[in-house]
Amino acid sequence: MKEFNILIAGSGGQGVQTIGKLMTEIGMEHGFEVSFIPSYGPEMRGGTSNCGVNISTEPIASPLVVTPTQLVALNLPSLDKFETSVVPGGSVIYDTDLIGRAPARTDVTYYGIPFTTLAEQLGVKANMLVSGKLLAVTGFCDPDGAESTIRALTAKRPAFFEPNMKALRAGFAL
């Protein structure tokens, strides 16, 4: 059985929900069982935002992500709040541009990457870089396997397809 219980958290406007929806769509397209539960404050942009994504080869008993196998933390409050909930042996992906403290645990794998700076340098969105890294860490799909999902999600705005694929591939390679 292959199972990923992913928690993605940050501030409203960072693309947290977009990452979650993208992972869900990619998982669904590749025949996995999936669930997606968004959570955000009423202020949305600038407020807190997180979502839980389950991707599994087996039916999902509960859509809640209480003990994530992977945590994506895009700001310090999110890392502070959710870091302790990651299962031993799990992984934490975080943006070192926005989180200035060292990891607190020794029983999880950390991927500290300056996503914000890299996104500015490449002229892409940081959330798509993060999505690429998350695909690499979970291993359930590579960027080429996600291409049709990205194409479908950008169908109404085709100019976004190439930059999103560029970011996804760059994040996967980090």
Give the number of other CB atoms < 10 A from CB of residue 78.
Answer: 26
pLDDT digits (tens, 9 = 90+) for 26-57: 999 999 999 999 987 655 556 679 999 999 99
pLDDT digits (tens, 9 = 90+) for 106-161: 999 999 999 999 999 999 999 999 999 999 999 999 999 999 999 999 999 999 99
Q: Where are the domains of the chain?
A: 3-173
- In this predicted structure, what is the pLDDT of residue 40? 73
List the structure tokens of 134: 């998350």
List the structure tokens of 74: 């895009």
109, exposed or middle or buried, with CB in 10 Å at 0-12, 13-18, 19+?
A: middle
Task: For residues 97-103, give the mean pLDDT.
Answer: 92
pLDDT digits (tens, 9 = 90+) for 13-27: 899 999 999 999 999
What are the E-state strand segments in 1-118? 3-11, 33-40, 48-56, 70-73, 91-95, 109-113
pTM: 0.93
3-173: which CATH topology?
Pyruvate-ferredoxin Oxidoreductase; domain 3 (3.40.920)
- In this predicted structure, what is the pLDDT of residue 13? 86
- In this predicted structure, what is the pLDDT of residue 1? 63
Rounded Cα distance between 60 and 68, Å, is 14
